[in-house]
């Protein structure tokens, strides 16, 4: 249980596919699910982030805008939001990460909303690897709150993750638990370890995808 190996790999990571300069990872999920807080804190020195709002401001139910997500995933939306008419592999999304907190997953409305997003996206781009982050695990499971190292020992957490994975149609081996930062002043090595391990998996998934587009495979 250590963050050093993953941190070193992430710090030195460079895509092996010469067609791209960096991986594009799209995080989607309900407001308040913790999409940005952890990754911004732990990886701010090593990664850049572009935020896109997929919600319809005119909708009282805060419906998302599927046509806009489609354009982003296919690489038509540049970082400055200009339109890219002929996107290449480097412009497209390489990993789709769905994010939902444990408490939101227990709310049928939030779970159904995320299910609808994933279902809609599946029609747009096939073959893109999908991951699921279940966040704020310490808020729902006492044993994890007491010691984050219990994350893989908690039977209730395991059952919850399996249930949500099944509901969303994402395999359990592509589902990862994450503890969020809340009001902490300093980062915590154990919390970082879990986050960095998950980020490393995102990189692995992205590497496999971009290399499969050209038939090149590398050991990372």
One of 1.10.10.10, 4.10.80.40, 3.40.50.300, 3.40.50.2000 is the CATH number of 4-11+19-210, namely 3.40.50.300
**Which pLDDT belongs to residue 177?**
93
Secondary structure class of 151 (helix, strand, coil): helix
Helix axes 108-124, 66-73, angle to 10 degrees: 50
Separation CA 15–CA 214 (nearest Å): 13
Q: What is the mean pLDDT of the chain?
A: 78
Separation CA 220–CA 207 (nearest Å): 9
Task: Give the model confidence (pLDDT) of 174-203 as tens digits.
Answer: 999 988 887 777 778 888 899 889 999 999
Q: Where are the domains of the chain?
A: 4-11+19-210
Task: Tokens 């046509």: give the residue.
Answer: 67
**Which pLDDT belongs to residue 122?**
61
Over residues 136-151, the mean pLDDT reads 91
pTM, two decimals, is: 0.81
Among residues of the chain, what percentage have pLDDT more than 70? 72
């Amino acid at each position: 249980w250590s963050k050093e190996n993953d941190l070193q790999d992430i710090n030195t990571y460079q895509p092996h596919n010469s067609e791209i300069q960096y991986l594009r990872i799209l995080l989607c999920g309900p407001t308040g699910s913790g999409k940005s807080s952890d990754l911004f804190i732990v990886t701010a020195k090593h990664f850049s982030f572009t935020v896109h709002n997929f919600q319809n401001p005119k909708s009282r139910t805060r419906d998302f805008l599927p046509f806009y997500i489609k354009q982003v995933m296919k690489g038509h939306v540049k970082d400055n939001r200009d339109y890219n008419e002929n996107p290449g592999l480097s412009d497209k999304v390489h990993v789709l990460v769905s994010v939902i907190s444990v408490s939101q997953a227990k709310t049928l409305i939030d779970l159904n909303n995320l299910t609808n997003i994933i279902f809609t996206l599946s029609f747009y781009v096939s073959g893109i690897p999908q991951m699921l982050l279940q966040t704020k695990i310490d808020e729902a499971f006492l044993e994890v709150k007491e010691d984050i190292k219990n994350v893989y020992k908690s039977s209730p957490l395991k059952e919850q993750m399996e249930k949500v994975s099944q509901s969303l149609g994402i395999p359990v081996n592509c589902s990862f638990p994450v503890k969020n930062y809340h009001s902490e002043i300093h980062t915590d090595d154990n919390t970082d370890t879990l986050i960095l391990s998950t980020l490393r998996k995102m990189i692995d998934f992205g590497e496999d995808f971009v290399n499969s587009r050209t038939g090149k495979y590398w050991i990372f």
